[in-house]
Structure 1
Amino acid sequence: MGKAVIKAADSAGLNLIPMSFGCAEEAGKTVEVCGKEIKVHGPSDRESVLASVFREHPNMIVVDYTVPDAVNSNAELYCNVGVPFVMGTTGGDRDRLYKTVEDSNLYAVISPQMGKQVVAFLAAMEIMAEQFPGAFSGYSLKVMESHQSSKLDTSGTAKAVISCFKKLGVSFDMDQIQMIRDPEQQMEMVGVPEEHLSGHAFHLYHLSSPDETVSFEFQHNVCGRSIYAEGTVDAVLFLAKKIQQKADQRVYNMIDVLHEGSMR
């Protein structure tokens, strides 16, 4: 995701600050990413380094694509320093995440799904759930989601879509989600192209009526990461605008970005 965001940011004319954070073993290293030299800092000095860079670049916005275990500590870091951020990482304690950011009064875009078109689909699902509660009462639901093997947690998008189906009257437990992470199964069962095994998101939601005479399927398949990177850049531009306007609302999601019409 870092590489994809760098490419999308370049295309949008954004200025990249060549620094990142990593584990203690990576501290002090310089890595080349998309032709740019990125300095990696370790966990021990990350707050002082981030604060120093933020003083030098007061218009900076941090983009976070890490791992679920880092979500809450990273958000606390950004809030302590006061630097606005776009959080595309899924997982972590989401209630604690939102409370941390809201208590700090910091500007942020937080979304488990950064792909613009997928977000629009999710927004449509939420509208349907709000306006037609119970429309699928009695229906059974099967959910399959396939992601690259490095994705450690269940898809946040799948959870959000399932929440909409539950409002529509469907009974479903999150542990019923079929998570596919094995590359062979992904190619044979799901139909993921081999060249996209390292970066994809295939989701299938299948609804059946109680007597199985009626069925509905909702599906969205994503190969690669460009869709998320482009959405991330839109979120950065949106957040910069809100900061400049000194907007009263501080915490946003990608649906807010869509409503604003901030799509390049």
Structure 2
Amino acid sequence: MSLSLIVTGAKGRMGSTIARLVLDDPDLHLAAVVERPGHTAGLETFGCTVTESLEAALPQHPGAVVVDFTAPEASLAHARAVAATGNPLVMGTTGLTRAQLTELEALAAKAPLFWSPNMSIGINALCRVLPLLERILGAAYDLEIVETHHKAKKDAPSGTALKLAQVLADSRGLDLEAAGTYCRHGIIGARKPEEIGIQTLRGGDVVGDHTVFFFGPGERIEVTHRAHSRENFARGALRAARWLADRKPGRLYSMADMMDGV
């Protein structure tokens, strides 16, 4: 039996890519697409329910997994909607505040919720490998991250860069709020050993590049991930949807949960 999905933001970069991949997969069924009011024209070509609100789609498709790559406020509204119906929800939205994540964690008691700032399998593999590298190299190696995205990206640094920085901060026993350095300008003095630099580049149509630098005495190590297309993230989100379909409410799930035991 195929898994039914509802895709929000179906005219967006990620939403349209996800919807197309669902249609191409015989094991998946595109039950509905959602787009904001006044922007649904043309979505009928997907051959499924088309609606301007997730609340209208959910009663028609009980149990369908919702996949959401929209904006923080919209994603939070969608999480509140599925909390009322119990539908699973996979979110790849970035730029969420701590308060918004706290609300998501509370809503996860009512419906299976999954959130990751980056759905790439490769990036999430890095999140597991980087702490090992950090522990082997030790505190003598300075940590820096550079991320590059297309010029239309609205949040900075990227959610992925912040995730990588958090993983490294946790490994080193640092508070990222205090250790994160996002801009350097003027006479700022020598670099502090507890800093984690996170620098942002924007331009062109870059899908997403992230490089983690370990600057040590007499050498440096660079670990780079480059996303070649948005299908990379879309396929990760669909893998998460398959995994989440069998989970129960109770916690805000992540890629780390899905990859446990791998």
Q: Tell me which amino acid in the other structure corresponds to 2:224.
A: Q
Which of 46, 60, 64 is 2:64 aligned to? Answer: 60
CA contact (8 A) 2:110 2:249 kept: no
- Pair 1:179-2:182 in alignment: no
Q: 1:117 to 1:78 in 2, by over 3 A?
A: same
Per-residue CA shift, 1:27-80, capped at 9, x if unaligned?
Answer: xx3324875577341xxxx3xxx3443222112111110124434333333324
Moved more, 81-90 or 93-102: 93-102
- Pair 1:2-2:3 in alignment: no
Match of 1:189 in 2: none
Higher helix share: 1
Match of 2:91 in 1: 87
Q: 1:100 to 1:202 in 2, by over 3 A?
A: closer
SS class of match (2:30): coil
Match of 2:143 in 1: 141
- Pair 1:253-2:246 in alignment: no
State the alpha-carbon separation in 1 of the partners of residues 115 and 51 from structure 2: 24
Q: For residue 7 of structure 1, report the CA deviation from its aligned partner.
A: 2.6
Q: 1:252 to 1:74 in 2, by over 3 A?
A: same
- Pair 1:159-2:159 in alignment: no
State the alpha-carbon separation in 2 of the partners of residues 38 and 144 from structure 1: 41
CA contact (8 A) 1:90 1:112 kept: yes
> TM-score normalized by structure 2?
0.74
Q: For residue 82 of structure 1, report the CA deviation from its aligned partner.
A: 3.6
State the alpha-carbon separation in 2 of the partners of residues 60 and 165 from structure 1: 36
Match of 1:215 in 2: 220
Q: For residue 148 of structure 1, report the CA deviation from its aligned partner.
A: 1.6
Q: Tell me which amino acid in the other structure corresponds to 1:17.
A: A
Per-residue CA shift, 1:102-134, capped at 9, x if unaligned?
Answer: 3442101111110112211212224556xx39x
Match of 2:191 in 1: none
Q: For residue 260 of structure 1, report the CA deviation from its aligned partner.
A: 5.8
Moved more, 138-147 or 75-84: 75-84
Per-residue CA shift, 1:86-115, capped at 9, x if unaligned?
Answer: 001111224533433434421011111101
How many residue pairs get matched? 228
Q: Tell me which amino acid in the other structure corresponds to 1:256.
A: D
Q: For residue 200 of structure 1, report the CA deviation from its aligned partner.
A: 1.0
Query: Which structure 1 residue ranges, 4+ long, deviate > 4 Å from structure 2?
Result: 33-38, 126-129
Match of 1:78 in 2: 82
Percent identical: 24
State the alpha-carbon separation in 2 of the partners of residues 248 and 25 from structure 1: 33
Q: 1:71 to 1:102 in 2, by over 3 A?
A: same
State the alpha-carbon separation in 2 of the partners of residues 102 and 252 from structure 1: 12
Q: Tell me which amino acid in the other structure corresponds to 1:142.
A: E
Structure 1: tracts of 5 or more residues without a match: 184-196
Match of 2:235 in 1: 230
